Structure 1
């Protein structure tokens, strides 16, 4: 997937293609997580579709719920969805930062080899 430390640094256009691909993957992960939240709020908390989208977006973005939850089942779902959203946030940050972090570490390895020779 990425070049190994013995290979030369990938050209800038390859790095940009890789970064765009990983941003796309991150948006897919966010979309799936948002869909889970919208469906859960709609069918478990019995919110309208727009209110479900609002609540799922707010929790996924780390802001917190907007509406009052009518039942214990809805409160349990919101609790688990909030924990799930925290993990999604960490995962998405890892996905988005992976190409840049790899490139930076690869540059350090190239610098080491230049100093040895």
Structure 2
């Protein structure tokens, strides 16, 4: 997927296309994670779909829950979802930063032409 250090730097157009694909994958991961949270809060706490979306969004962004959890299942789900959301945050950050970091490191390792 990425060019070897002996290969030339990827042209800007193809690099932007690579950034687009990484953003698309990140959007998919976040959307799937948000969907898991919404369904989980709706099922375990019987929250309305809108309240479940709000809680899942707040947990996924690291802000914390809005509604207090009242059931054992809801508390267990909320704690597991919070841990999962932390991992998703790190993964999405890595997915988005990978092309930028690779391009920078690739640029630094290109031979200097005189």
1:33 match: 33
1:95 match: 95
Q: TM-score, normalised by structure 1?
A: 0.94
Provide the aligned length of Structure 1 versus Structure 2.
Answer: 114
**Structure 2 CA distance, aligned partners of 1:102 and 1:93?**
14
1:23-62 correspondence to structure 2 within 5 Å: 23-62=23-62
Gaps of 5+ in 1: none
Listed one character per residue, the Cα deviations across residues 24-83 of structure 1 (whole Å, up to 9, x for unaligned) are 100000000000000000001111100000000000010000001121110010000000
Aligned-pair RMSD on alpha carbons?
A: 1.1
Gaps of 5+ in 2: none
**Structure 2 CA distance, aligned partners of 1:13 and 1:101?**
17
Moved over 3 A (4+): none
**Structure 2 CA distance, aligned partners of 1:45 and 1:24?**
31
1:98-117 correspondence to structure 2 within 5 Å: 98-110=98-110, 113-114=111-112
Q: TM-score, normalised by structure 2?
A: 0.97
**Structure 1 CA distance, aligned partners of 2:29 and 2:73?**
25
